[in-house]
Structure 1
Amino acid sequence: MGIERNWAGNLAYRASTVVHPRSVDEVRAVLAAGGSVRTLGTRHCFNDIADTAGTHIVLDRMPIVIEVSEQRDAVRVSSALRYGDIAPVLEAQGLALANLASLPHISVAGAVSTGTHGSGDAIGTLSSAVRGLTLLTASGEIRQLSRGDADFAGAVVGLGALGIVLDVTLDVEPSYAVAQHVYEHPGWDAILADLDAVTGAGTSVSIFSTWQRTDAADQLWIKQRQPEDRAAERAALATALGAVPADGKRHPILGVAPEACTEQGGVPGEWFQRLPHFRLEFTPSAGAEIQSEYLVPRSDAVAAIEAVRSLADRIAPVLLVNEIRTMRADDLWLSMAGGQDAVALHFTWKPDEQAVRALLPDLEAALPASARPHWGKVFTLDGAEVRARYPRWDDFAALRAQYDPERRFVNEYLERLGL
């Protein structure tokens, strides 16, 4: 019997068989049986990227690997582990990752394969921290790729199309502390007058809005590495934006109790206890929701936000919250930040897929033509339009044909993209 639904409950999977192998040999046996296969992780994708009518391979019972290199600059981890599982182990050894997503609940392989990201002007996506990965192809061959190899930049954000990711090696650095500050009601005109100043006000910055009003956003979250504090700079920015410090802990979604969120109020804490918005032991965000996200080059960011602002009266009724944040460019072929410093417009929608899908074509048409949809979230752009936004798409298609000539990993999602 298949795993019925994804994490948020908006998608029913169709797999006829679900297997939980405990070794590479058992994975090979599944592949040798033939048929279509897809790997399923923590089920945080909101579309059918991981779906199949064949066999779902779930790696959650494979041996746990968390191996720090002798140089203490990298860690090799088993692909099904969640970031929230890895982080305390690294911290115990005085080490850290450069970034984390807003949710520590997601698996490493699922995150990097879809280009999922954290936030920060000077910080790359989670995929950009990958320095190596081990793939098992449909033929049962092990392929190990390292940063600098010919296929590496095409394989990291691989959409599950090349093979089964067995392990991933990530860059690490010495541990550090972070403090998180929340401000309310920053004015949109002031934000857009100098967006770079706003997103550069901390190590990681998020702007949250329900778009129930168009003159001001709801919240500005600034996460700052310690010991640098930048208090005077934050105070000056808040004054310029007409924002005020929050008088208590906040949730990104207005009216939701903040217990699930990481500590705020400028209290320093370990990197993995502050970089995510949500705590591992709680259900993050709203739970029942739908997500869409579009990344644009920084040069198109103001135009993209203004496009959203112009549709506020249509967006607000179906929206829980819109988050805007940034990331540094990387060189990965299918990264949404590939070749460009990017600004992400993330939408957490109410769980009404019909209403969301009715709105998305108009939203996508209003956004700059450079906008790249997140691979794991709901979008309606057709495959040809998505392909056109990635200069290395044809190279990736050739790589997929090389790694999976029998198309064992190709599903309906990939077919819509032209694979």
Structure 2
Amino acid sequence: MTGSATWRNWGGTASCTPSRLIVPQSTEALAADVAAAAERGDTVKAVGSGHSFSEIAVAPGVQVDMSGFRGVRDVDLDAKRITLGAGTPLHQIPALVEPLGLAMTNLGDIDRQTISGATSTGTHGTGGAFGGISTQIRGVTLVDGTGQVRIVDEDDPDLEAAALGLGALGILTDITLQLVDAFAIEAVEAPGDADETIDGFLDKVATVDHYEFYWFPHTTCTLTKTNTRLPASTPSNGPGKVRRYIDDELLSNSAFRLLCTLSAKQPRLVPTINQVSGRVLSARTYTDRSDKIFISNRDVRFREMEYALPLDAVPDALRELRTVIDRRRHRVSFPVEVRAAAADELMLSTASGRASGYVAVHRYHRDDTLDAQSYFRDVEDVMTAHGGRPHWGKMHTRDADYLRSVYPRFDDFLAVRDRFDPQRTFANPYLRQTLGA
């Protein structure tokens, strides 16, 4: 146990000063720490990389640093499964599974999170036939709210809660993932027209392996991304390292940061800047190892809200969002990101029981605070009118009453929580808001 200091998340939207900080190096040590905290009546919260924008990782009591739980615990090549320490960062996993000829079946576009943080908050990628990362889980080991070590495998119905548990059931120590044979992806990026892109979204999701697009507010410009899965033996081609560096680092990060900084200082210029940015987009095609296509480097700091909607509702919601931005005169420098995912059976997955489309909105971290807050409120009004479910790791204001209305298995999850954490050892303000007291 060590002294604690103020903790802040990456987006600057949450902070806390824990009463204690612990850095356990084994499941047994963690179990003893949790049992002792429960005996004292303290609350406990594990923290990963701090990449959630919500306050889900805020720890008013004991904060658990999971850096002692990293790396490979076990490999089952016949079943194509790997068991990892729950604190393993996503960006380290490709190097661990590539020598095995395997890969994760899908990823989001950011890989700074730990595997437990990503799965506990419902991180997902895109693809109408592919679920979020949590759907790849086949078993977990966790320490529950009494300090008991539990193994929850695929034959245990509690896995439908524990695979995406919000940190409310226990602290994950090991996670077993179902992998697939390694594969390559051909990525095709192309500029588009907003009306045509929105109108064609459902057809693209139905026919493309991994499809997403970005709409530039105040413009009719979009950037579409079409990713097609190919055999791992497919040669890498397309823009070389220098061109990729120019496109992905200088243009997507360095230049974009300058434009966002200018927009924050001069909001009236945002529509013009977005028009220029949208008009200079050019098409490109390239092929690489799957994780190198899925992942994008994001250096520009932002704040994010994302909602999952019934897939068919996405086009109408986007049209309403465009109208709201114009009517309310918001000045939004960040593109709106649109993706999709398959339905799954996890109790609190944003795609639980329904094929889902995702609409993510961002604001530069230095944008005017009042306008940013107003923008997020207006977006939330649009999304909740369509039965939207907020991403657990991103900004939202929903409470337990609302969430119960959009999650058919909400009370099933609470029943599991009552068994795993009867004293609410893992409670924090965020969980009291979203799951109820």
The question of a shared fold, defined as TM-score above 0.5 by the shorter chain, is answered with: yes
The Cα shift of 1:142 comes to 1.4
Matched, 1:256 2:256: yes
Instruction: For residue 111 of structure 1, give the secondary structure of its aligned residue in structure 2.
Output: helix
The Cα shift of 1:27 comes to 1.0
The residue number in structure 1 matching 2:292 is: 273
The residue number in structure 2 matching 1:12 is: 15
Q: Measure the CA separation in 1 of the matches of 2:319 and 2:254.
A: 22
The Cα shift of 1:206 comes to 1.7
- Listed as ranges, the matches of 1:379-398 within 5 Å are 379-398=396-415
Q: Measure the CA separation in 2 of the matches of 1:319 and 1:383.
A: 32
User: Cα–Cα, structure 1 residues 297 and 63, in superposed 2: closer, same or farther, change >3 Å?
Assistant: closer
- Listed as ranges, the matches of 1:127-206 within 5 Å are 127-184=134-191, 186-200=192-206, 202-206=208-212
Contact in 2 for aligned 1:16/1:53 (Cα 8 Å): yes
Equivalent in 217, 220, 223 of residue 224 of structure 2: 220
Q: Quote the RMSD (CA, aligned, Å).
A: 2.3
The residue number in structure 1 matching 2:372 is: 356
Q: Deviations over 1:372-413 (max 9, x none)?
A: 010111112333112211011111111111111111101111
Equivalent in 211, 223, 237 of residue 217 of structure 2: 211
Contact in 2 for aligned 1:115/1:335 (Cα 8 Å): yes
Instruction: For residue 226 of structure 1, give the secondary structure of its aligned residue in structure 2.
Output: strand
User: Cα–Cα, structure 1 residues 99 and 318, in superposed 2: closer, same or farther, change >3 Å?
Assistant: same
The residue number in structure 1 matching 2:317 is: 304
The residue number in structure 2 matching 1:95 is: 102
% identical aligned pairs: 27
The residue number in structure 2 matching 1:370 is: 387
Contact in 2 for aligned 1:291/1:348 (Cα 8 Å): yes
Q: Measure the CA separation in 2 of the matches of 1:121 and 1:50.
A: 29
Amino acid at match of 1:168: I
Task: Tell me whether 106-115 or 59-68 shows the greater mean CA deviation.
Answer: 59-68
Amino acid at match of 2:55: D
- Listed as ranges, the matches of 1:14-163 within 5 Å are 14-34=17-37, 35-62=42-69, 64-163=71-170
Contact in 1 for aligned 2:168/2:417 (Cα 8 Å): yes
Q: Deviations over 1:145-201 (max 9, x none)?
A: 1224221112211110001101111111111111222111x1122123332223345
Q: Measure the CA separation in 1 of the matches of 2:57 and 2:329.
A: 28
Instruction: For residue 388 of structure 1, give the secondary structure of its aligned residue in structure 2.
Output: helix
The Cα shift of 1:3 comes to 4.6
The Cα shift of 1:66 comes to 4.5
The residue number in structure 2 matching 1:281 is: none
* Alignment coverage as a number of residue pairs: 387
Q: Measure the CA separation in 1 of the matches of 2:91 and 2:229.
A: 19
Q: Deviations over 1:17-50 (max 9, x none)?
A: 2211111222123213321000101100112111
User: Cα–Cα, structure 1 residues 318 and 63, in superposed 2: closer, same or farther, change >3 Å?
Assistant: closer
Instruction: For residue 22 of structure 1, give the secondary structure of its aligned residue in structure 2.
Output: coil
Contact in 2 for aligned 1:135/1:163 (Cα 8 Å): yes
Q: Measure the CA separation in 1 of the matches of 2:118 and 2:18.
A: 21
Q: Deviations over 1:4-24 (max 9, x none)?
A: 211222322231222111112
Contact in 1 for aligned 2:70/2:84 (Cα 8 Å): no
Amino acid at match of 2:228: Q
Amino acid at match of 1:127: S
Q: Measure the CA separation in 1 of the matches of 2:16 and 2:186.
A: 40
Contact in 2 for aligned 1:211/1:316 (Cα 8 Å): no
Instruction: For residue 68 of structure 1, give the secondary structure of its aligned residue in structure 2.
Output: strand
The residue number in structure 2 matching 1:260 is: none
The residue number in structure 1 matching 2:5 is: 2
Structure 1: state its 5+ residue gaps: 229-245, 258-263, 279-283
Q: Measure the CA separation in 2 of the matches of 1:91 and 1:110.
A: 22
Structure 2: state its 5+ residue gaps: 233-243, 258-282
User: Cα–Cα, structure 1 residues 296 and 355, in superposed 2: closer, same or farther, change >3 Å?
Assistant: same
The residue number in structure 2 matching 1:234 is: none
User: Cα–Cα, structure 1 residues 79 and 31, in superposed 2: closer, same or farther, change >3 Å?
Assistant: same
Contact in 1 for aligned 2:76/2:82 (Cα 8 Å): yes
User: Cα–Cα, structure 1 residues 20 and 347, in superposed 2: closer, same or farther, change >3 Å?
Assistant: same
Q: Measure the CA separation in 1 of the matches of 2:16 and 2:331.
A: 28
Q: Deviations over 1:278-322 (max 9, x none)?
A: 3xxxxx241x21111001011211111112111233475144221
Q: Measure the CA separation in 2 of the matches of 1:225 and 1:334.
A: 28
